[in-house]
Amino acid sequence: MTDDEAKQVILDTLEKKSKSKSKFYLRDFYAMIPDMKSRQVKNLVNKMVQEGKLEYWSSGSTTLIGLKGMGKQHQEDD
């Protein structure tokens, strides 16, 4: 699987699950692409953050990753 194919798998999976969950642990990404080594997945996720496709979110003790612009912190107040 190429990096571009792996990126598309990640984006498709996150978009499909975005209705119920907007942020994921890094280990969740390992499960999305089981045939890649964990370091490769981590580097791929970091690259996607740099490209602006994903973003990190931190609670102070936990770091989660999600689609850029998704989640409660991006919803406007009515």
**pLDDT score recorded for residue 1:** 83
- For residue 2, is pLDDT > 70? yes
State CA 38 to chain mean position distance.
14
**Three-point CA angle 67, 70, 59, nearest 5°:** 85
**pLDDT score recorded for residue 78:** 43
- Please tell me the CATH code under which domain 3-70 is placed: 1.10.10.10
Paired tokens of 56? 């990190």
Paired tokens of 37? 């080594």
Whole-angstrom distance, CA of residue 40 vs CA of residue 21: 24
- For residue 11, is pLDDT > 70? yes
Sign of CA dihedral 61, 28, 40, 11: negative
Q: What mean pLDDT comes out for the span 24-53?
A: 94
pLDDT in tens, 12-38: 999 888 778 889 999 999 999 999 999
How would residue 75 be classed by pLDDT, with cut points 50, 70 and 90? Answer: low
